[in-house]
């Protein structure tokens, strides 16, 4: 058994690289490190788990900013209107509802025109059959949004 292992060893020896964050040694491959062109070996100094946890932290911080939060809201809105795989596409894109903003236009509209802090609020269309467009969006609390939805259902 040992001999077999030894024979196989030369073929499987890989260069290893120590993550500068967690100081664990990993094979120096793209499987364990993200590509990083600026480094001599083409790999990031941090291993993937460390890089991922930093990205997650960064995302959380970014989402807490108004800009980051609005870009998140925008992504959801765009998805509901244009991605048939989205679970509520039938209530938006499926009904011909479009998102007529670009991401930048949307962020600037909410900040400069609506002038509200959208944290903790949900986006709503004033005219339920209208598009996501200037003049037809507002931000409401989750419970207001649910009430509106029920009202809409009763009418139908």
What is the contact surface with Zn ion in residues (CB under 5 A)?
19, 21-22, 47, 50
Q: Which is nearer to Zn ion, 21 or 125 (CB)?
A: 21
- Residue 91: count of CB within 10 angstroms of its CB: 14
When the beta carbons of 52 and 113 are compared against Zn ion, the nearer one is 52
Bridge partners of 17, per DSSP, are: 26
Name which of 65, 71, 75, 44 is nearest 117 in CA terms. Answer: 65
Smaller CB distance to Zn ion: residue 19 or 73?
Answer: 19
Can you tell me whether residue 14 is helix, strand or coil?
coil
Residue 51 Cβ, how far from Zn ion at the closest point, in Å?
A: 8
d(CA 9, CA 32): 20
Minimal distance, residue 30 CB to Zn ion, in Å: 15
Least distance CB 37 / Zn ion (angstroms): 20
Q: Residue 102: how many CB atoms within 10 A of its CB?
A: 11
């Amino acid at each position: 058994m040992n001999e077999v292992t030894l024979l196989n060893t030369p073929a499987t020896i890989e260069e290893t690289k120590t993550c500068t964050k967690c100081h664990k040694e990993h094979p120096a491959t793209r499987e364990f490190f993200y590509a990083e062109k600026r480094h001599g070996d083409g790999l990031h100094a941090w291993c993937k788990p460390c890089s991922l946890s930093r990205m997650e932290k960064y995302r959380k911080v970014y989402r807490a900013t108004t800009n980051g939060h609005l870009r998140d809201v925008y992504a959801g809105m765009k998805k509901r209107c244009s991605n048939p795989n989205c679970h509520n596409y039938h209530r938006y894109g499926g009904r011909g509802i479009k998102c007529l903003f670009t991401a930048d236009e949307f962020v600037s509209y909410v900040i400069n025109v609506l002038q509200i802090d959208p944290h903790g609020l949900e986006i709503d269309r004033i005219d339920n059959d209208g598009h996501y467009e200037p003049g037809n969006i507002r931000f409401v609390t989750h419970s207001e949004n649910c009430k509106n939805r029920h009202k809409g259902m009763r009418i139908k």
